[in-house]
Chains A and B, each alone.
Chain A
Amino acid sequence: MIRAGAPWELIRWFGGMLIYCRTMAVFLLAWYLAAEAVPNKLLLPSPLAVAQALRESWLDGELTANAGISLLRLLVSVAAAAVLAIPIGLAMGRSRMISDLLEWPVELLRPIAGIAWIPLALFIFGIGQRLPIFIMFYTAFFPLLLGTAAGAQSVDRRLIAAARTMGLSRGTIMRRVVVPAALPSVLVSLRLAVAASWTAVVAAELVGAPSGLGYAIEYYRSMLATPTVMAFIVVIGLLGFLTDRALRWLGDALAPWARTEGRQ
């Protein structure tokens, strides 16, 4: 909870925006001049051409369609990974037996990047919906599992002792103490998982899907439509940024106590 004076916050925000706009204006100008200097427009289109391409793909609905597909895949695969990884992670964090049992399979599978599964997954699933979803699920699963396990394991022992002295049952302690205490690290790992998954979607769609943002940039590259390629790259970056902001906001809303505590 930051309760500094509101006008001061506002002035700071405007100052930040001003600097942001100034820096980006300098960058865009440099880009524009560089594009003027390069004779081959296929290699480096000017920012104006990219903006024009962005507008066109927005107007004919292609942008929203592809972005929608990629975002939906992200949502489905991360949700599936969370449903599976969070309970297992909690169990691993609270039971040494379960964490011993799962340690090696996890440690052996985790270093194999989700992207390295693409050729095998192409065999199993073929080109289509299921391939990117599997790759993204796999990519999101391990950060969530390990983050949850670490969070559940490092719950302050005194908090559990306090709950025990109040006569709480094991199940209630799990629900009312372990889960909320692990929540901040679950939320942090969720952000990591989504970021990694968003990287994987581009790779997976680039190789093995007939739709989505990754497919679109590869398609327009083969058409040599560089401005459109760049427009889609901008969209990928923007959506990655916005999902991260949304998750950060969600984290602050769900775990308001963890926000200022981390700063102290």
Chain B
Amino acid sequence: MTDAEMTDAKMTDAKIRLSGIGKSFGAPAAPVVAVQDLSLDIRPGEFLTIVGPSGCGKTTVLNMLAGLETPTTGTMTLDGRPIRGPGAERGVMFQDYALFPWKTVRGNIGFGLVHGPAGAGLSAAEREERVRRVIELVGLTGSEEKYPHQLSGGMRQRVALARLMANEPQILLMDEPLAALDAQTRIILQDELLRIWGQDKPAAERRTVVYITHSIDEAVFLADRVVVLSSHPGRLKRIVEIDLPRPRDDATRLSKAFADLCQSIWQSIREEAYRATMT
């Protein structure tokens, strides 16, 4: 990357910039293209959701942002610096939570603080205080000493979210975090997610979120912008600005504007979604 491009990235105020990202798997002779020529600027403090039918490479995009996979082509920058490997400034919440089975709720939430760089410079008391605070924030008080296998799906999801929050990353990367939950729990946790993200606070105090989901109404409800991907290979199809007022709540879900946005996005992927059910 040239210096000129670097300045450019800073000037346009992109937190993360993807330019011409492509990713293929398998043998070089017969590659399977998962993502193709994806360019995207993610703004600081923005809640960005990515939707698309299965096979659109949503998870691959998130893994590349996390630094767990390297793109085959193109460049990715964070604050103008290329992304090479994982970093504590980008926290990840995995689809199936990836909780450490040998750690209690408290141990899981404090894991990054105790063993990783996120807790550097903090005293033991400060770490404990931070863990206590996030436990309270996500509503896990009273379950601190339980092991993951003793928790319900919704509780595990809260632990994973709390673990993410405890490390205080600048950027939150979330891969279908609510997919495994029942419909009621999802709605409750969507509301809480927005509260924790800080939708009542001024935009400057919010963290940047990249959120993968296959559910269109969830994407619309949460996001500032929805990125729609097409499948086989994953390509950028549309970016939809969601101008629904914040804070959002049940009234938002019932509004006509919300329904219209969902309908519009559904129209743009329905054909591919149908096709995806046949494979």
Contacts and interface: CB of A to CB of B under 8 A. Distances in A.
Direct touch of chains A and B (CB < 8 A): yes
Interface of A: 1, 156, 158-159, 161-168, 172, 176-177, 180-181, 183, 255-258, 260-261, 264
B257 interface: no
Contacts, number: 78
B115 A162 contact: no
A166 B111 contact: yes
B67 interface: yes
Contacts of A159: 98, 100
A258 B86 CA distance: 29
Given A165-B67, A183-B102, A158 B94 contact: yes
Contacts of A158: 94, 96, 98
Given A166-B86, A166-B118, A255-B102, 18 more contacts: A1-B147, A158-B96, A159-B98, A161-B66, A161-B92, A164-B67, A165-B92, A165-B173, A166-B116, A166-B167, A167-B86, A167-B112, A172-B116, A176-B111, A257-B101, A257-B147, A258-B102, A260-B149
Contacts of B112: 166-168
Contacts of B137: none
Contact of B68 (A161, A167, A181): A161
A258 B120 CA distance: 31
Given A256-B147, A257-B148, A164 B86 contact: yes
Nearest to A167: B88
B116 A167 contact: yes
A258 B148 CA distance: 11
Interface in B54-77: 66-68
Counting chain B CB atoms within 10 Å of each CB, the highest count among A159, A161, A256, A261 belongs to A161
A167 B117 contact: yes
Contact of A165 (B68, B147, B148): B68
Contacts of B96: 158
B97 to A, nearest CB: 9
A255 B112 CA distance: 21
Nearest to A161: B68
Contact of B87 (A156, A163, A167, A261): A167
A180 B104 CA distance: 13
B90 interface: yes
What interface size band does chain B fall in? 20 to 34
A264 B115 contact: no
Which of A156, A162, A177, A264 has most B Cβ within 10 Å?
A162
Contacts of B68: 161, 164-165
Contacts of A161: 66, 68, 92, 94, 98
5 contacts: A162-B94, A162-B100, A165-B88, A167-B87, A257-B148
Given A161-B68, A256-B147, A260-B149, A168 B116 contact: yes
Contacts of B167: 166
Interchain residue pairs A-B with the least CB separation, the first 5: A167-B88, A166-B112, A158-B98, A162-B98, A166-B116
A261 B101 contact: yes
B136 to A, nearest CB: 21
A258 B100 CA distance: 11
Nearest to B89: A167
B166 to A, nearest CB: 10
Interface in B86-141: 86-88, 90-92, 94, 96, 98, 100-102, 111-112, 115-118
A260 B117 CA distance: 33
A176 B107 CA distance: 12
B263 interface: no
B198 to A, nearest CB: 22
Contacts of B116: 163, 166-168, 172
A162 B92 contact: yes
B150 interface: yes
Contact of B118 (A167, A183, A264): A167
Contacts of B101: 181, 257-258, 261
Contacts of B91: 165-166
Given A167-B87, A167-B118, A1 B150 contact: yes
Nearest to A172: B115
Given A161-B68, A257-B101, A168 B115 contact: yes
A258 B149 CA distance: 9
Contacts of B92: 161-162, 165
Which of B66, B102, B173 has the most chain A CB atoms closer than 10 A to its own CB? B102
Interface in B26-81: 66-68
B90 A165 contact: yes
A181 B102 contact: yes
* Highest count of chain A CB atoms <10 Å: which of B67, B87, B88, B100: B100
A14 B68 CA distance: 54
A161 B167 CA distance: 16
A177 B149 CA distance: 17
